[in-house]
Amino acid sequence: MATATFRFHGELNAFLARARRECAFTHAFARDATLKHAIEALGVPHTEIGQLCVDGAPADLDRPLGDGERVDIHPQRARQAANGAPAPQPDRWRFVADAHLGGLAQLLRLAGFDTCYDNHYRDDELVALAAREDRIVLTRDRELLKRRAIVRGCYLHAQQPAEQLRELFGRLDLAPHMRPFRLCLRCNAPLHPLEAAAAASRVPPGIRQRHRRFAACDVCGRVFWEGSHWRRMRTVVDAMRAPPADAPDIPDA
């Protein structure tokens, strides 16, 4: 075994035991360990790592870790992949949410971000979909994010969908790239305008009388209109456009 000194910065401390937060500490590791292996053994998924330095010099995750070295690990705030590969432009970002994030998936669709979700996804299916379609994996399962096949991912510390959305918007600076009300909240397919006459047979009589603007999804057949539910969703979207308040304390991972 060998030892190295580790210092985690910012919100990465939430992944650590309390005694190791906001301080440098020494930890033993196997002599053939890479930085990825050593850091993830301490509880921090590679997708959460931004800048990584060994003895003050930039390093990548596959670098072997040497005895007596000091490692500084900073959180992922920018848009690069965990392996350093260039990321798509923000307006082309696509997500896949795990089975416990259905509420967040719906809010992301509301904001116009292509987000796959199925509460029957197995982990292997989710990982394969992310790789095949270059999607960012969203989860509260840190072990899932440790899989090498996941290139881009985000661990959500918050537990409520609206707070998860705000957390993700803050991390990825999504607000300028919103295109709200363009995707079906149920199936993620694009919506298209629907004439009032065409909508008449597909909505309740009272809705036909009070509304003239409709949108429809060709995949699931659902019709949307600007009712009270729409206004509540508009409030959520407008809140995402507001300047962020001071960052709240991040709960333990």
Could you tell me the CATH superfamily of domain 2-75?
Beta-grasp domain (3.10.20.30)
For the 90-179 domain, the top CATH level (class) is alpha beta
Domain spans in the chain, listed from the N-terminal domain onward:
2-75, 90-179
Q: Are 158 and 188 in contact (CB under 8 A)?
A: no
Q: Over the stretch 42-95, which tens digit does the pLDDT of each residue have? A: 999 999 999 999 999 999 999 999 999 999 999 986 445 545 555 556 567 899
**The pLDDT value given to residue 235:** 84
Q: Are 48 and 76 in contact (CB under 8 A)?
A: yes
Q: What is the mean pLDDT of the chain?
A: 89
Give the Cα separation of 248 and 251 in Å (integer).
Answer: 9
* Closest alpha carbon to 11 in 149, 139, 158: 158
Q: Over the stretch 107-160, which tens digit does the pLDDT of each residue have? A: 999 999 999 999 999 999 999 999 999 999 999 999 999 999 999 999 999 999
**The pLDDT value given to residue 173:** 86
> Same CATH fold, 90-179 and 2-75?
no
pTM, to two decimals:
0.87
On the question of pLDDT at 187 being above 90, the answer is yes
Of 233 and 207, the one with more pLDDT: 207
**The pLDDT value given to residue 211:** 87
Q: What is the largest CA-CA distance in the chain?
A: 75
DSSP states along the chain: -EEEEEEE-GGGGGGS-GGGTTS-EEEEE-TT-BHHHHHHHTT--GGGEEEEEETTEE--TTSBPPTT-EEEEEE--SS--TTSPPPPPGGG--EEE-TT-HHHHHHHHHTT--EEE-TT--HHHHHHHHHHHTPEEEES-HHHHT-TT--SEEE----SHHHHHHHHHHHHT-GGG--TT-B-TTT-PBEEEE-HHHHGGGS-HHHHHH---EEEETTT--EEESSHHHHHHHHHHHHHHSPP-SPPPPPP-
